């Protein structure tokens, strides 16, 4: 039995090294040079080519190397009988929180506006804004969303949340399902999208949603590029209804050179780095799941393929 790493747009060496450090006896290979594919029982993936799993006759499980698994669901030949796992780690959540908190404080302390004033040598103190006066809305209250919401609360922000099914998070006013989306949006001065990508959430960040946010709201997408209707965001920014946006994910990654987002001064772009998988954090749960696989035990962090998360 062996593990293969099928990774594109991600360096497989760092995961290989982290696995080697804690479990040197494991047979870990890197696709496409992974030898006799019949020996592979666990395929760790990041954006693998479609149909690739057909090559592995004795595969017992598929693992995403990130928190999301949407790239696996897109593969019509994904073997439906195999368990699919993902990475769940405190470090992934901490990394996401640091990114989100940076955006939230930047907005609250108005660094984005001061940066614009600086371009014109303008000294203009704006009315001070305290965290306790800013309401942040989190869409998606899974592992990451819940963690981020609770930590933002500790920073002093007011936090509201929205998710498909109703959730209970201490101190966070939670809204659920389509019916409660409007009241959630009406309260949200800064919207963070941490939703899983499903048929129901694709394109949810659209014109109709933006106009329900208060004037001057800020939008941050750290989930998936497909959540956003790109033209609708440009319209909402240009019209002045939204003050700005920070985007970490895009429909096409890397974001194409000619894309209008690059030179829109109301948009801050980061290259899908909000919540990076730290190999040292991922390796132990990969090893644990591999051992469970060998012993036919239930796996950790298994994904419900019907829900898509």
- Residues forming contacts to a second copy in the complex (CB under 8 A) are 91, 94-95, 98-99, 101-102, 105-106, 108-109, 111, 114-115, 117-118, 121, 123-126, 128, 130-131, 154-156, 253-255, 257, 259, 262-263, 268-273, 276, 278
Which residues are CB-neighbours of 228 under 8 A, at least 6 positions away?
Answer: 193, 203, 205, 206, 221, 247, 251
Closer to a second copy by Cβ: residue 59 or 96: 96
Query: Do 213 and 185 form a contact (C-beta atoms < 8 A)?
Result: yes
Closer to a second copy by Cβ: residue 21 or 166: 21
Catalytic one of 224, 241, 243, 251: 224
Residue 129 CB, nearest approach to a second copy (Å) = 9
Phi/psi of residue 12, nearest 5 degrees: -75, -20
Closer to a second copy by Cβ: residue 85 or 246: 246
Closest by Cα among 15, 293, 80, 167 to 301: 293
Closer to a second copy by Cβ: residue 94 or 198: 94
- Give the Cα separation of 245 and 218 in Å (integer): 6
β-strand 61-64 against 84-85: which pairing, if any? Answer: parallel
Residue 170 CB, nearest approach to a second copy (Å) = 18
Q: Is 224 a catalytic residue?
A: yes
Residue 154 CB, nearest approach to a second copy (Å) = 8
Phi/psi of residue 157, nearest 5 degrees: -75, 155
Query: Do 282 and 15 form a contact (C-beta atoms < 8 A)?
Result: yes
Residue 246 CB, nearest approach to a second copy (Å) = 9
Active site residues: 224, 272
């Amino acid at each position: 039995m062996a593990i293969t790493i099928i990774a594109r747009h991600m360096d497989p060496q760092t995961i290989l090294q982290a696995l080697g450090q804690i479990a040197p006896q494991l047979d870990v290979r890197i696709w496409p040079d992974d030898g006799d594919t019949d020996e592979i029982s666990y395929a760790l993936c990041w954006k693998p080519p479609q149909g690739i799993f057909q090559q592995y006759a004795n595969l017992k499980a598929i693992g995403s190397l990130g928190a999301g698994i949407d790239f696996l669901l897109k593969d019509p030949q994904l073997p439906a009988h195999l368990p699919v796992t993902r990475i769940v780690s405190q470090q992934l959540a901490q990394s996401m929180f640091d990114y989100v908190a940076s955006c939230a404080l930047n907005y609250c302390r108005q660094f984005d506006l001061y940066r614009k004033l600086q371009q014109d040598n303008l000294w203009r103190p704006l009315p001070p804004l305290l965290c306790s006066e800013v309401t942040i809305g989190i869409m998606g209250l899974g592992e990451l969303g819940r963690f981020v919401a609770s930590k933002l609360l500790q920073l002093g922000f007011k936090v509201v949340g929205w998710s498909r099914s109703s959730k209970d998070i201490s101190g966070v006013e939670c809204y659920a399902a389509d019916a409660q989306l409007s009241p959630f949006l009406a309260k949200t001065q800064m919207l963070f999208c941490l939703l899983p990508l499903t048929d129901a959430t694709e394109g949810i960040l659209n014109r109709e949603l933006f106009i329900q946010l208060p004037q001057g709201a800020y939008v941050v997408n750290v989930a998936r590029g497909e959540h956003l209707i790109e033209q609708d965001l440009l319209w909402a920014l240009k019209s002045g209804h939204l003050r700005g946006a920070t985007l970490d994910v895009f429909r096409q990654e890397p974001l194409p050179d000619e894309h209008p987002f690059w030179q829109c001064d109301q948009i801050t772009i980061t290259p899908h780095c909000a919540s990076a998988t730290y190999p040292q954090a991922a390796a132990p749960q990969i090893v644990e799941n591999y051992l469970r696989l060998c012993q036919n035990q239930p796996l950790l962090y298994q994904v419900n393929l019907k829900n898509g998360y």
